Amino acid sequence: MAAQAAPIESVQCFGRKKTAVAVTYCKRGRGLIKINGCPIELVEPEILRFKAYEPILLLGRHRFAGVDMRIRVKGGGHTSQIYAIRQSIAKALVAFYQKYVDEQSKKEIKDILVRYDRTLLVADPRRCEPKKFGGRGARASNGDVPLGRGMVSGEE
C-alpha cells in the first residue's frame, strides 16, 4: 500500500449577479488566477477588467501569492459575469483564510472588502420583474384613457 499524500487544502465558493454564476476553486499554490482557463489579465471586456481586479488591488498581491484560483463562469451577460467573478474571488479568499490560515487575518480581509463594497461578499438580491398583461412592461401600463375620463377641450 502506498503512503497517503497530505490532503489538498482547498475551498470552493460561488458568486452571483442576476443569472451569472461564477464558481471559484481555491487551493494552495503560487498566485495563479484563471477564468475559464484564461489568465485574469485577459478578461474581456477590457473596460470592466479592473472590476475583476478589485479584490486583488484592495487586498494586495501578497495575500493572493500563496493561493491558486480557477474560476468557471456561465450565464448572464458580460457585465454580470464580471461582477459574479469579483464576488467569487473575494468570497473564496475569505473562506480559504478562515479554514487554513487564521481568524484574525480573515477578519481583516473581510473588513477591508465590506468597507469598500458590500457586494464583494454579499449577493445582490435584485432580479428582473416579469412583464404583466395589459401593459408594456413590468410596471408601465398601455396609457389608454377610458371613455368619459380625462381632459375634454374647454374643461379645466
Report residue 124: phi and psi, to 5°.
Answer: -80, 115
> Are 102 and 109 spatial neighbours (Cβ–Cβ below 8 Å)?
no
Residue type (1 letter), 103:
E
Determine the average pLDDT of the residues in 84-91: 97
Per-residue pLDDT at 48 exceeds 60 = yes
The 8-class DSSP code of residue 120 comes to G
Determine the average pLDDT of the residues in 21-43: 95
Query: What pLDDT score does 136 carry?
Result: 85
Name the CATH code of domain 10-120 (choices 3.30.230.10, 1.10.472.50, 2.60.40.10, 3.90.550.10): 3.30.230.10
Is this structure's pTM higher than 0.75? yes
> Are 26 and 13 spatial neighbours (Cβ–Cβ below 8 Å)?
yes
Per-residue pLDDT at 147 exceeds 90 = no
For residues 44 and 140, what is the distance between their CA atoms, to the nearest angstrom?
A: 35
With residues binned 3-state (H G I as helix, E B as strand, rest as coil), the percentages for the chain, rounded to 5, are: 40, 20, 40
Determine the average pLDDT of the residues in 34-55: 94
Query: What pLDDT score does 5 carry?
Result: 80
Query: What pLDDT score does 141 carry?
Result: 76
Query: What pLDDT score does 133 carry?
Result: 87
Determine the average pLDDT of the residues in 45-65: 94
